[in-house]
Amino acid sequence: MLDPTITPETLLYRLFHEDGVRLEDARALVAQCRCSRERIAGVLTSFDAAERADMVEADGKIRVTCEYCATVYELEPEEIAAG
């Protein structure tokens, strides 16, 4: 499986020929995050008021970092309470 001269098609056949192999056209993969301020605010509304109050930092804002794209969102607690 580490032989660089084996084509992907040949490798797939060798691994899965008993199940039948069907190849689709190649497509470019795109990694992109679908996070947004609105989505983050929506998630925060699922916490009760006491939990959201614990999230408020010293400057009065709630900060959330998207673990996928590392975007940092700063929200005012009033934005979340308004829903």
Residue 13: pLDDT over 80: yes
Domains (range + CATH), the chain: 8-80 (3.90.1280.10)
Dump the DSSP string for 9-63: HHHHHHHHTTT---PPPP----------HHHHHHHHTTS-HHHHHHH--TTS-EE
This model's pTM is above 0.95: no
pLDDT, tens digit (0-9, with 9 covering 90-100), for 35-51: 999 999 999 999 999 99
Joined tokens for residue 80:
């979340």
* Other beta carbons less than 10 A from residue 79's beta carbon: 15
Joined tokens for residue 30:
């795109």
Tell me how far apart the alpha carbons of residues 68 and 71 are, in angstroms, rounded to a whole number: 8
